[in-house]
Amino acid sequence: MHPAYSVIVFTTFSGAGFGLMAVLGLGAVFGRIADFWAIGAVGIALAIALAGIGLLSSTFHLGHPERAWRAFSQWRSSWLSREGIAAVATLGVAGLLWLVWTFVPGPGIVIGMLGIATAILAMITVYTTGMIYQSLPTIKAWHQPIVAPIYILLALTSGTVIAHALLLALAEGQRAFGLAGMGLLAASALAKILYWNRTDAAAPIATAGSATGLGRFGTVRVLEWPHTQENFVMREMGYKVARKHSAQLRRSSLLAAFAIPFVLILISIFGNGLAALAAAFGAAISMMAGLFVERWLFFAEAKHVVTTFYGAEAA
Partner 1 sequence: MTTLPATPSAKKLGLVIDLDTCVGCQACATSCKEWNTGGYSAPLSDMEPYGADPHGAWLNRIHSYDVGDGAASRTVHFPRSCLHCETPACVTVCPTGASYKRAEDGIVLVNPDTCIGCKLCSWACGYGAREYDYADGVMKKCTLCVDRIYNTHLPEEDRIPACVRACPTGARHYGDLGDPESKVSKLVAERGGYDLMPELGYKPVNKYLPPRPRRDATTAAKPAPQEQIDEPRTAIERLFAFADKVLSR
**Residue 299 beta carbon to partner 1: minimum distance, rounded to whole angstroms:** 11
Does 224 interact with partner 1 (rule: CB under 8 A)? yes
The secondary structure of 189-209 as a DSSP string is HHHHHHHHHHHHHSPPS-BHH
- Candidate segments 23-31, 62-70, 89-97, 153-161, binder of partner 1 by CB under 8 A: 62-70
Stretch that binds partner 1, among 18-26, 96-104, 200-208, 273-281 (CB under 8 A): 200-208
**Closest distance between partner 1 and the C-beta of residue 70, in Å?**
4
| Alpha-carbon distances of 114 from 34, 89, 126, 304, rounded to whole Å | 12, 12, 18, 41
Q: Contact, 144 vs 198, CB < 8 A?
A: yes
Question: 300: number of CA atoms within 13 Å, CB side?
Answer: 18
Among positions 102, 144, 210, 252, the unique one binding partner 1 when judged by CB under 8 A:
210
CA gap 216, 300 in Å, rounded: 32
Identify the three-state secondary structure at position 300.
helix
Which region, judged by CB under 8 A, interacts with partner 1, from 34-42, 188-196, 240-248, 305-313?
A: 305-313
Indicate whether 88 belongs to the interface with partner 1 (CB under 8 A). no
Cβ-contact 290, 182 below 8 angstroms: no
What CA–CA distance (Å, rounded) separates 260 from 171?
A: 24
Return the range that interacts with partner 1 (CB under 8 A); candidates 9-17, 158-166, 219-227, 272-280: 219-227
Q: How far is it, in rounded angstroms, from Cα 207 to Cα 227?
A: 21
Which member of 109, 145, 221, 242 binds partner 1 (CB under 8 A)? 221
Kindly state whether residue 303 participates in binding partner 1, applying the rule CB under 8 A.
no
Rounded Cα distance between 46 and 16, Å, is 10
- Stretch binding partner 1 (CB under 8 A), from 27-35, 156-164, 216-224, 282-290: 216-224
Task: Report, in Å, the least distance between residue 219 CB and partner 1.
Answer: 6
Integer Cα distance of 238 and 35 in angstroms: 52
Q: Which of 30, 60, 225, 270 touches partner 1 by CB under 8 A?
A: 225
Q: Is 219 in the site for partner 1 (CB under 8 A)?
A: yes
Taking residues 100 to 139 in sequence order and writing x for each that binds partner 1 by CB under 8 A, - otherwise, the string is --------------------------------x--xxxxx
Select the residue interacting with partner 1 from 51, 220, 256, 284 (CB under 8 A): 220
How far apart CA 77 and CA 68 sit, in angstroms, is 17
Rounded Cα gap, residues 218 and 264, in angstroms: 56
At 304, is the secondary structure helix, strand, or coil? strand
Q: Does 81 bind partner 1 (CB under 8 A)?
A: yes
Contact 261, 279 (CB under 8 A): no
Q: How many CB atoms lie within 10 A of CB 181?
A: 32
Q: Which is nearer to partner 1, 200 or 224 (CB)?
A: 224
78 binds partner 1 (CB under 8 A): yes
Q: Does 183 bind partner 1 (CB under 8 A)?
A: no
Q: Would you give the DSSP letter of residue 312? A: -
Q: Which of 5, 32, 60, 62 binds partner 1 (CB under 8 A)?
A: 62
What is the contact surface with partner 1 in residues (CB under 8 A)? 1, 61-65, 67-68, 70-71, 73-74, 76-81, 84, 132, 135-139, 205-206, 208, 210-214, 216-233, 235-237, 304-306, 309-310
